[in-house]
Amino acid sequence: MKQAAGALLSAIHLDRSSRKGMSVQLYMALRDIILSGGLRAGDRLPATRTLARETGVSRTTVIDAVDRLVAEGMLVSQVGSGTFVSDTLEHQPSVPVLTTASDTTAQQPRVSYAINHAEKSYAQRTWLPHEARAFVTALPALDAFPLAHWSRLSARHLRGARGAVMGYGQPKGYEPLRRAITTHLSVLKGIQCHHEQIFITSGAQHAFALIGRLLLNPGDRVWMENPGASGARNALLSEGAELVPVDVDQDGLIVADGLAKAPHFRMAFVTPSHQQPLGHVMSLARRFELLQAADAAQAVIVEDDYDGEFYYGNAPQPALRSTDTSGRVIYVGTFSKSLFPSLRLGFVLVPERMTEAFDRMFRFWASGPPTATQATVADFMDEGHFATHIRLMRRLYKARYEALMEESRILPDCITLQETASGFHTPAYLAPGIDAQAVVAQAAERGVVLAPLSKYCLSPIDRSGLVFGFGSAAPEDIRRGMETLRTLPALR
């Protein structure tokens, strides 16, 4: 093991005029140095006091940045010895972290046949009704949404400049919103991008449909987590794709299983920051393994970050896109969870090499949300209301999660809720012999909504379970829901 001080310190540049805090800047600088090979596996970082003195920040700031990298698995702290670069990175190539203009000269993506028939085709979307009660999944706390701020901003645009918000708008979306999203991704997720790489969609499902239409041809094989997010299936199947169920474990999608089933895959669909529905976080080693598999197969990875803003630990989970150096990851985000579902607003962040292809597609097919809605969201973000709302919702969801776990103690031993560190749903496993469908049916008869784990499966898995949502349920609703479940005949 060797000390890495001089070169490290000379490569760190902090901007005190930036909107990003010093801790975030230092974290990003250290992470970029590690990923670019400036620090290698086994290298020891200077002491936190040394880093603080040489960079001109407080020791607390340094500790926060280092702790975040330790939590991500990039650094390892050894009591009495120091902090070292993780051995996980030993076999990773030394490549620039940030995508550069040279990316545009890389191999262009193969586009589907459908792009040549753009004027004859239209994306279809479906809507599913939801109501706030225990234990509905995927529904945020609508009772806590700041309607007063939202209404004021919305009225501003409805009264204001008609030409800017009442015309057809830009095909790829309202530019101020794309800029606001770029800043949000940089601060929260460590993703460096340009606003021209952002495309606004009518929700995540619309994004999946457009991605499938552009990049898939009939027969292309797509890795899907099993169990996994069910929302993208129809969009990908509509393009004639063959969906390949790939097992998941506590580290996320099992790449070896995917390679055994479909080594020549065209696309992988993953939820690495909060696996849906099991709640696991994809480990750093598994992320690199997936990126390398995609490189070898010349495939793309669709990262669905559906609730990445809501975490209960000390730091958010990093996006897979933030460690992608080959332009393989297409990042999909949505405001359905962070704001409200009927907004029908999402976005796609594409690698630079794919920007022209997506521009072409959006000129033909894009039918995004009303520009006035996009302008309202942009102002909501730029004026700080979005960041404030997210902070408040983290506390609220944490309280509701704690209520869920506390009240679940009254349930029979045949059902066990799993812990989670983010989002507002968590799975529960059932003992052998317990019929999940019977539990769901009996709960529904009594006004309680549960989702069977099988709903998320492309092919059967070994365990039977349920998925509990807690975002839209107040603590008293959670308590009543648990009391109802305790009496179900199917759980006796």
Is the predicted pLDDT of residue 386 greater than 70, yes or no? Answer: yes
Which superfamily, per CATH, for 393-491? Aspartate Aminotransferase, domain 1 (3.90.1150.10)
Q: How high does pLDDT run on average in the chain?
A: 88
Q: Rounded to an integer, what distance in angstroms lies between the CA atom of residue 357 and that of residue 442?
A: 49
> Could you write out the DSSP letters of every residue in 131-182?
-S-TB-SS---GGG--HHHHHHHHHHHHHS-HHHHHS---TT--HHHHHHHH
Q: Rounded to an integer, what distance in angstroms lies between the CA atom of residue 484 and that of residue 68?
A: 41
pLDDT for the residue numbered 132: 73
pLDDT for the residue numbered 20: 86
Answer yes or no: CATH 1.10.10.10 is held by domain 6-89.
Answer: yes
Q: Rounded to an integer, what distance in angstroms lies between the CA atom of residue 411 and that of residue 135?
A: 15
Is the predicted pLDDT of residue 221 greater than 90, yes or no? Answer: yes
Q: List where CATH 3.90.1150.10 sits in the chain.
A: 393-491
We find that the CATH architecture of domain 146-386 is: 3-Layer(aba) Sandwich (3.40)
**Quick count: other Cβ atoms within 10 Å of Cβ 323?**
21
Q: What is the pLDDT of residues 194-218, one digit of tens each?
A: 999 999 999 999 999 999 999 999 8
Cα–chain-centroid distance for residue 15? 28
Q: What is the pLDDT of residues 443-492, one digit of tens each?
A: 999 999 999 999 999 999 999 999 999 999 999 999 999 999 999 999 98
pLDDT for the residue numbered 189: 87
Range with the lowest mean pLDDT among 78-82, 244-248, 272-276, 358-362? 78-82
CB of 131 within 8 A of CB of 477? no
Q: Rounded to an integer, what distance in angstroms lies between the CA atom of residue 70 and that of residue 390?
A: 24
Q: What is the pLDDT of residues 248-294, one digit of tens each?
A: 999 999 999 999 999 999 999 999 999 999 999 999 999 999 999 99
Q: List where CATH 3.40.640.10 sits in the chain.
A: 146-386
Q: List where CATH 1.10.10.10 sits in the chain.
A: 6-89
pLDDT for the residue numbered 116: 44
Q: What is the pTM of this model?
A: 0.81
